[in-house]
Amino acid sequence: EAGVAQSPRYKIIEKRQSVAFWCNPISGHATLYWYQQILGQGPKLLIQFQNNGVVDDSQLPKDRFSAERLKGVDSTLKIQPAKLEDSAVYLCASSPPGGGNTGELFFGEGSRLTVL
């Protein structure tokens, strides 16, 4: 079974530039999450999708961050314009409908963003 795919793995940009990250969840996983993980900290939820609808985006800085999940499958997270404090690893995770048998999240390898 293929895991959660993310790209790019690494991205370096100047402040005020834009960047986009892509995530393809495990097939059949209805719930998709984007987390921001700043170095030395735990993951912080940015947005949660159920199929192609938003369940929770309360911590998404909507003035600069946007995310979409067209057709309820893959998702894109965009930052425009980027700030220095956006330097972090952006983790995508997915879970089956209702959490499945185990309730766990399945993570991708993450996209590391450096803003100079």
Binding stretches for another protein (CB under 8 A): 3, 31, 33, 40-45, 48, 50, 55-56, 91, 98-99, 102-105, 107-110, 112
Min separation Cβ 54 and another protein, Å = 13
> Would you give the distance in Å from CA 85 to the centre of its chain?
17
How far is 87 from 13, CA to CA, in rounded Å?
10
Q: How far is the CB of 10 from another protein (least distance, A)?
A: 10
Which one, 84 or 98, has the nearer CB to another protein?
Answer: 98
CB of residue 94 to another protein, shortest distance in Å? 12
Contact criterion met (CB below 8 Å) for 43 and 110: no
Q: Please, which residue, 17 or 52, has the CB nearer to another protein?
A: 52
Q: Cβ 111 to another protein, closest distance in Å?
A: 12
User: For the residues of 56-112, what is the DSSP string, one character each?
Assistant: E-TTS-TTTEEEE-GGGS-EEEEESS--GGG-EEEEEEEE-GGGTTT---EE---EE
Contact 67, 60 (CB under 8 A): yes
